[in-house]
Structure 1
Amino acid sequence: MSQKTIKIAGWILTIILVLLFTMSAFMKITQNDTALAQAASMGIDASTYRFIGIIEIISLVLFVIPRTGVLGTMLLIAYLGGAIATHLQHQQPISMAVSIQTILWITAFLRFPELKQRILGNKN
């Protein structure tokens, strides 16, 4: 693939992730009934859930800005790791969180070649 194609693919995946994380954070911050019911089933109170949404938005903003993108990537990966662990703890499906985390890793490798080189040891 050409560098231009890689860059475009990276930004298309970034937009998809922005939409997903924004919707998720919006539901937490606005205290959506469905989101609150899900949080309550895991023992998370409303104020904590709102705080999690704020952390999600801050991490997302850092991810989108190219200069802080690697930091944002790591924060979002950690966030999803916590979500996966929480779902496992409560015997809930993890396929959605794992899928989003996979897309996040692919996006990070496309957008940040230095990250790919550090993790995979590739020179490309």
Structure 2
Amino acid sequence: MSSKSIKITGWALTAVLGLLFAFSAFLKISQNEAAIAQASAIGINAHTYRLIGLVEITSLILFLVPRTAIIGAFFLIAYMGGAIATHLQHQQPVGMAIGVQVVLWITIAVRFPDLLQRVFSPNLTTH
């Protein structure tokens, strides 16, 4: 695969994740009635749910900006980990959350191959 194809793939995956997280954050921030009802069912009040939406959109913005994308990626990974834990705690399906987490990791691997190489390199030396 050419460098250009890899770059396009990375940004296409980023766009898909961006739309997904933006929609999710919008439902939380706008206090969508169905979303609030779902959150209330697991003990999350409307104010806390709005704060979660603000954390989500902030993390997404950091992920979309090339200069801050790695820290944004780490925040989104942590965010999804919390979502998975919450779903598990309340005996809710986790397939979608795990799927988003997998796509997020794939996107990171495609967009930041040097990061992937650093993480999995057996020849790391410290200075």
Common topology (TM > 0.5): yes
Residues matched between the structures, number: 123
Structure 1 counterpart of 2:107: 107
Give the letter aligned to residue 51 of structure 1. Answer: L
* Cα-Cα RMSD: 1.3
Q: How does 1:1-124 map to 2 (within 5 A)?
A: 1-121=1-121
2:10 and 2:122 mapped to 1: Cα distance?
18
Give the letter aligned to residue 34 of structure 2. Answer: T
Q: Which has the larger radius of gyration?
A: 2
Tell me the TM-score normalised to structure 1 length: 0.95
Tell me the TM-score normalised to structure 2 length: 0.93
**Unaligned stretches of 5+ residues in structure 1:** none
> Alpha-carbon deviation of 1:42?
1.1
3-state DSSP class of the match of 2:44? coil
**Unaligned stretches of 5+ residues in structure 2:** none
Give the letter aligned to residue 73 of structure 2. Answer: T
2:97 and 2:119 mapped to 1: Cα distance?
21
CA contact (8 A) 1:84 1:94 kept: yes
